[in-house]
């Protein structure tokens, strides 16, 4: 089991390297983002452990670049950044797991083994619903070939709907997955952002992709409306 560790804190990197080696992993370590991109694209690994705050290229850029180059090796983000947007950005760019520092070494090993068992099947880069497309790697949304600029929250909501296109998702499910499981604000905020998306994605193009399913929630048509 071959692991690439990308970590600029050398003592921590060496501690993790030593522990994983003792557990039977073959470990390589790099300390900056540029070396990480080179290593991930030039060599085959079973899993990559990637910090976010790195010299030269941050972890988000590393993840973005290797996914753009078709490297689908499972990536576990190991970082002190624990905000909901930090995690959302990582998953949108193609991360497979996220573990915050300080961490349990036993948990790290368990998660790495789980990722390796799952393997790295190639995933579709672009989500589509008719002439509506969302590229998670470039965070780019297009309608009829024309780019549409969305806020972070609008993008998160659309990405969730696109991943469940053809399905009806409830307001509660949206709040838990796009906002926060502990969200205790006004649930009508979902309706507000659905309206924002319709104004940007449907109205200018004479489309009706985002449906309200009365009493149940919202759905985006598989054919894009």
Segment 123-134, tens digit of pLDDT: 656 888 889 999
* pTM metric for this prediction: 0.58
For 157-169, b where at least 16 C-beta lie within 10 A, e where not — what string? bbbbbbebbeeeb
Segment 88-114, tens digit of pLDDT: 778 877 888 888 888 888 998 999 999
Segment 145-164, tens digit of pLDDT: 999 999 888 988 898 898 88
For residue 181, the model assigns a pLDDT of: 59
Nearest to 200 by CA among 168, 164, 165, 153: 153
Residue 75 structure tokens:
């990536």
Segment 5-57, tens digit of pLDDT: 999 999 999 999 999 998 888 999 999 999 999 999 888 899 999 998 999 88
First vs last C-alpha separation in the chain: 46
Mean pLDDT score across all residues of the chain: 86
For residue 94, the model assigns a pLDDT of: 80
Q: Count other Cβ atoms within 10 Å, centred on residue 73.
A: 21
Do the strands 2-6 and 47-50 form a parallel or antiparallel pair, or are they unpaired?
parallel
* β-pair partners for 127: 134
Hey, what domains does the chain have and what are their CATH numbers?
2-118 (3.40.50.2300), 127-220 (1.10.10.10)
């Amino acid at each position: 089991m071959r692991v690439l560790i990308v970590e600029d804190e050398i003592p921590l990197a060496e501690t993790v390297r030593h522990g994983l080696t003792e557990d039977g992993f073959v470990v390589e370590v790099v300390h900056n983002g540029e070396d990480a991109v080179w290593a991930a694209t030039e060599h085959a690994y079973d899993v990559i452990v990637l910090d976010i705050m790195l010299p030269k290229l941050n972890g988000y850029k590393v993840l973005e670049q290797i996914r753009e180059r078709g490297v689908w090796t499972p990536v576990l983000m190991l970082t002190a950044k624990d905000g909901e947007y930090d995690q959302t950005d990582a998953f949108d760019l193609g991360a497979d797991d996220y573990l915050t520092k300080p961490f349990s070494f036993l948990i790290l090993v368990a998660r790495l083994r789980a990722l390796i068992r799952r393997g790295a099947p190639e995933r579709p880069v672009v989500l589509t619903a008719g002439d509506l497309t969302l590229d998670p790697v470039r965070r780019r949304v297009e309608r009829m070939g024309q780019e549409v600029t969305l806020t972070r929250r609008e993008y998160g909501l659309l990405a969730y709907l696109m991943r469940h296109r053809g399905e009806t998702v409830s307001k509660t499910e949206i709040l838990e997955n796009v906002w926060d499981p502990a969200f205790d604000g006004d649930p009508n905020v979902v309706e507000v952002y659905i309206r924002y998306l319709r104004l940007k994605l449907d109205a200018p193009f004479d489309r009706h992709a985002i449906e309200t399913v009365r009493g149940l929630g919202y759905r985006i048509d598989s054919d894009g409306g």
